[in-house]
């Protein structure tokens, strides 16, 4: 009885790991039909006979983004919304432009690991491990350097140079999602109770209300 039990345990673990990532494609491609009202976990496939080269193409990643926000950075995503042919392929791309001393604020990607390379400038990057350690792991990156942010962990980038900076990042999902920590906590709709946040951050409700007003 021990051998069958061991096999079943292994099978259960293997299946759980498989379910923890995006499913593998079962055909050459599944170009997303962005016009269908049907909702699935992913996007409905376009008729393969109607697929064209433009379904696998997007142009403009060479164009710097306009930075019009207080944090001093702007992301240009290239996911399934921009390239329908990415549907089911489990990968996407993003360009991040930084103003001098700008930051890409602490955030997470709930569905993707990120691998980032610096194209121009110098970035301080880092992520925080989970409880109980909450360990901060940081590194200064120069042009051509590469760094990985594990899936789901809070991470950030800061331009520590005097000029502009640019980074490119690949993510292991066609739709990695992004949760900006400050926006989610202080800019939720409706607001999280100031009493809850005051206790969580061990501060006065008036301070919380003042921060919420900025979001």
Binding-site residues from annotation for Mn(2+): 107, 109, 114, 155
Write phi, then psi, for 26 (nearest 5 degrees): -110, 10
C-beta separation of 64 from 166 below 8 A: yes
Rounded Cα distance between 57 and 83, Å, is 6
Q: How far is CA 180 from the centre of its chain?
A: 10
* SS3 call for 64: coil
| Number of neighbours of residue 63 by Cβ within 10 angstroms | 10
Going by the annotation, the residues of the binding site for oxalate are 104, 109, 114
Known binding residues are 104, 107, 109, 114, 155
Residue 5 three-state SS: helix
- DSSP for 177-195, written as a single string: --EEHHHHHHS-SSPPPHH
C-alpha separations of 134 from 139, 149, 175 in Å: 16, 15, 27
- At 191, list the tokens: 């607001």
């Amino acid at each position: 009885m021990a051998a069958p039990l061991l096999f079943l345990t292994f099978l259960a673990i293997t299946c759980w790991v498989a379910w923890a990532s995006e499913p593998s494609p079962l055909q050459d491609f599944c170009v997303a039909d962005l016009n269908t009202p049907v909702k699935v976990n992913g996007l409905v496939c376009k008729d393969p006979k109607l697929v064209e080269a433009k379904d696998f193409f997007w142009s403009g990643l060479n164009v710097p983004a306009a930075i019009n926000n207080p944090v001093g950075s702007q992301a240009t995503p290239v996911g399934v919304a921009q390239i329908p042919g990415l549907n089911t392929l489990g990968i996407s791309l993003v360009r991040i432009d930084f103003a001098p001393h700008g930051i890409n604020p602490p955030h997470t990607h709930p569905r993707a690991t990120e691998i980032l390379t610096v194209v121009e400038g110098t970035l301080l990057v880092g992520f925080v491990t989970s409880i109980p350690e909450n360990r901060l792991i940081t590194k200064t990156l120069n042009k051509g350097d590469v760094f990985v942010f594990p899936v789901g962990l809070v991470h950030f980038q800061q331009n520590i140079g005097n000029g502009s900076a640019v980074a490119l990042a690949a993510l292991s999902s066609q739709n990695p999602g992004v949760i900006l920590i400050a926006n989610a906590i202080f800019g939720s709709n409706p607001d999280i109770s100031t009493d809850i946040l005051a206790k969580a951050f061990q501060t006065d409700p008036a301070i919380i209300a003042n921060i919420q007003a900025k979001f």
